[in-house]
Structure 1
């Protein structure tokens, strides 16, 4: 019996047209269409804005706090050969959706391989409240707003089978930066068998995302503008003088005061919180003063400083001067001052403030695919193909070695195995496999066939689902992906109908 017979089969009548047009016809046979699982991630633009703010505020502190989605060592399994051969596709003809590119912004290189502009990290909060990330990619769709990743990076399969919280995609993520903004997940689609039965044969997800958003600083506004502002806003107090405070009150401004004016009190040196001050005295008073700790006792040695003749004359004639003004035989002028101790309880000063009003400026970046482009999609392909895999590994190998940081993208390249593989622990009957040492954090990494290094585009034909140790040395040496078939395309097509939300208006205000 074919290992993929457990899937609901949906034959394809033909391939999909090129040039970004998404079209395919399905035969109406006795075989039923796949039942997609769909979950709403955010209900409106205001909620999506708050999710973007969660990840971006404080210079992306939450992004930097996130850790890779990690696997226990016992979950790094060994692949067992399945029974579908290299040409086996049992639910229809091969098909594809062509990619679309974008020339906006730079992109990096890894060992002479041009990184796709479409790849990035997906960030989310799991059921334990932990900040996590996986890898993902933008893919071409009707509204240019789809992200492909592993299903377990969207649906929390750790017991509750709910979607992850605060889900976003950050394309081009590099060392804590979001160069092309943040795209908030609106609605997630996967195969029912994954969400209901944790069947990793369908461990993929397509997530429709909002328009991109980036925060562009802030500005001070009037109180009236502040009241009307629908976006993020805050009040910042600024200290002002007593005179300014008086004028503010006359103009019915937003000002206030706190504290009161009190004089310093002379206390003993052992009084709690006593502060040592110096008091200038005459030479005669200094000479009569005692040494040691206490009010009126000497405070160090006399202080002598050279001055100019004009300064000497001015200081010498000033009414409050108590020191000694003198000159040597060479015509150099000096001032000597004498100090004694004063231990005081500090006084206080009433302070005056004015409220200033500030609003956060946010920018709508447009649809994801218009900013970074989108990879194509291919299904019912031969398994023995050359493929590039791009992701952000960071987890340790089972032996504890941790060669990756997750701060920058890495890649694997090779030819997928000529057979599909089984992993009973994850209900896998037909995964495609590639020799690759990337570890956790690379979950959801796109598998791109027919990749053009010049265009940075190819066809998505898988996503990293599981990690494997084939030679038994406690190190990841293989990754595997679900086999993309006509059911995969059907779920992708369903997701492509969701239109992206615009989170902010032309002035940076939050849309309701």
Structure 2
């Protein structure tokens, strides 16, 4: 990016970078997602509930075709380093394995969130090495809506597949991004690091007594079982009004009766057609179902009202009978409407039903820190252009021409060398993006660009995250993707996120922690 920062040591990130001179323009911002365990638990439960229904309902963050723009190369061939290059090593390195195919790392997955319109969305992301084994790297626009407000119910699901979370759900606690993205919606800073709570998974339910139910701090609910009166009476006598046994009086469906039935009430008065009226008993009679018919009119109306009723009747909006009276020459001289009604006489009654309450608590299991469970990719900054990278993501959008080769269900990848020049995209304030020839589409947003990817160990160094998609040759097909260039300023933001401590949100018994 554009501001020159103090260079970071090549061997690692220095804690001294936590401080800036008071007059310096900040390079980073931090925002709360869900730092409170109760909010984090609620969000994770939202996505996991009903066997992952919300996860399956979510759709990829969507790029409009009009935003698929061309890249403009700058004159620079050296990129935009603002200090010495540096690397931090990956963690949780698995045992090497031999394969001719590309091995998917456990660290990649999807982030899920709810946008301001209430839509369920997802992007791609990866676990990244961190001091507290709790950091996720993704695109800034997959955390910040229009560069300002953070999305709600933000969670990371590594290894996500069709509503399943094999290694748990990790709710976001704190988000870190570039000051320029947050302030100016500048996509040169389109990246984010999110510190997440320990993961958890749902572990079924347990029925408890009312006391344990009241004390439970996690998910809980009451099921009502209907029982017979002969079961209810001795149990209510034993446990009293504070017990789980109770009764309630319900209104029954009104029963039709004759109009002279003691206590009968008119339930409703419904308009019918003239044909139905003429086929029914006279208005002074009551048939065996307790029904009475009534005629109202004819009533004189204006010619304008008559014309409107004719039009409404033709559209089936009016049941009234309408007519125009003509003179001997056939001219209309008067207009009338007549309405016909059915009155239904009913009696109302009640019944008493009996219930027992069952108290359930939702059990959850702590799945541990993200980096301990799936590992974390390394981090690289101020690297030369032209690096070989392996990029992962979950593409789901169609190409601008409408062709949809990807489903968004399974991760895909691109392998190649990044461009040797920096690139601009004026509509998104981009001046220094790095690029890669790749045909992945929207949904791959936030996926990691892994430098020095070891296919056997399934680890590398995050040197970018997919930000934008481009059609360079104008054939309405995505052929390039781009990422913020990871310089010392990005490393500075990462360093702040690296010191964000989080913890478990559920205890050893599945209870919600404070």
The reply to whether TM is greater than 0.5 is yes
Q: Note the C-alpha offset of 1:77.
A: 0.7
Report the Cα distance in structure 1 between the residues aligned to 2:200 and 2:20, rounded to whole angstroms.
Answer: 44
**Aligned residue for 1:254?**
244
The partner residue of 1:213 within 187, 197, 200 is 200
Q: 1:197 to 1:472 in 2, by over 3 A?
A: same
**Aligned residue for 1:317?**
none
**Aligned residue for 1:90?**
81
Q: Note the C-alpha offset of 1:43.
A: 3.8
**Aligned residue for 2:109?**
120
**Aligned residue for 1:16?**
11
**Aligned residue for 2:295?**
none
Provide Cα deviations, 1:343-384, integer angstroms capped at 9, x if missing partner.
xx9x99854321111000011111110111000000111110
Q: Note the C-alpha offset of 1:23.
A: 4.2
CA contact (8 A) 1:14 1:24 kept: no
| Pairing 1:149–2:149 present | no
Secondary structure of 1:225's aligned partner:
helix
**Aligned residue for 1:435?**
437
Provide Cα deviations, 1:279-319, integer angstroms capped at 9, x if missing partner.
xxxxxxxxxxxxxxxxxxxxxxxxxxxxxxxxxxxxxxxxx
The partner residue of 2:129 within 121, 140, 144 is 140
**Aligned residue for 1:388?**
390
| Pairing 1:99–2:86 present | no
Q: Note the C-alpha offset of 1:192.
A: 0.6
Report the Cα distance in structure 2 between the residues aligned to 1:140 and 1:241, rounded to whole angstroms.
Answer: 60
CA contact (8 A) 2:80 2:432 kept: no
Q: 1:209 to 1:26 in 2, by over 3 A?
A: closer
Q: 1:378 to 1:261 in 2, by over 3 A?
A: closer
CA contact (8 A) 1:117 1:372 kept: yes
Report the Cα distance in structure 2 between the residues aligned to 1:410 and 1:441, rounded to whole angstroms.
Answer: 11
Provide Cα deviations, 1:71-111, integer angstroms capped at 9, x if missing partner.
111110111111221x445311110110012659xx9x9x9
Q: Note the C-alpha offset of 1:266.
A: 12
Report the Cα distance in structure 1 between the residues aligned to 2:382 and 2:24, rounded to whole angstroms.
Answer: 18
Secondary structure of 2:47's aligned partner:
helix
**Aligned residue for 2:283?**
none
Q: Give the structure-1-normalised TM-score.
A: 0.77
Q: Note the C-alpha offset of 1:126.
A: 1.3
CA contact (8 A) 1:12 1:24 kept: no
CA contact (8 A) 1:176 1:407 kept: no
Q: 1:463 to 1:238 in 2, by over 3 A?
A: same
Aligned ranges for residues 34-433 of structure 1 at < 5 Å?
34-85=26-77, 87-101=78-92, 112-157=101-146, 161-251=148-238, 252=240, 253-258=243-248, 351-433=353-435
Secondary structure of 1:465's aligned partner:
strand
Report the Cα distance in structure 2 between the residues aligned to 1:363 and 1:27, rounded to whole angstroms.
Answer: 35
Report the Cα distance in structure 1 between the residues aligned to 2:139 and 2:19, rounded to whole angstroms.
Answer: 29
**Aligned residue for 1:288?**
none
Gaps of 5+ in 1: 269-344
**Aligned residue for 2:461?**
459
Q: Note the C-alpha offset of 1:9.
A: 0.8
CA root-mean-square deviation: 3.2
Q: 1:361 to 1:44 in 2, by over 3 A?
A: same
Report the Cα distance in structure 2 between the residues aligned to 1:266 and 1:233, rounded to whole angstroms.
Answer: 43
Provide Cα deviations, 1:29-63, integer angstroms capped at 9, x if missing partner.
99957521111112411111111122111111211
Provide Cα deviations, 1:239-268, integer angstroms capped at 9, x if missing partner.
334332123112233112346899xx9999
Report the Cα distance in structure 2 between the residues aligned to 1:405 and 1:247, rounded to whole angstroms.
Answer: 59
Gaps of 5+ in 2: 259-346
Secondary structure of 2:415's aligned partner:
strand
CA contact (8 A) 1:10 1:33 kept: no
Q: How many residues align?
A: 424
Report the Cα distance in structure 2 between the residues aligned to 1:29 and 1:503, rounded to whole angstroms.
Answer: 33
CA contact (8 A) 1:210 1:501 kept: yes
Q: Note the C-alpha offset of 1:16.
A: 2.4
Q: Note the C-alpha offset of 1:501.
A: 3.0
Secondary structure of 2:359's aligned partner:
strand
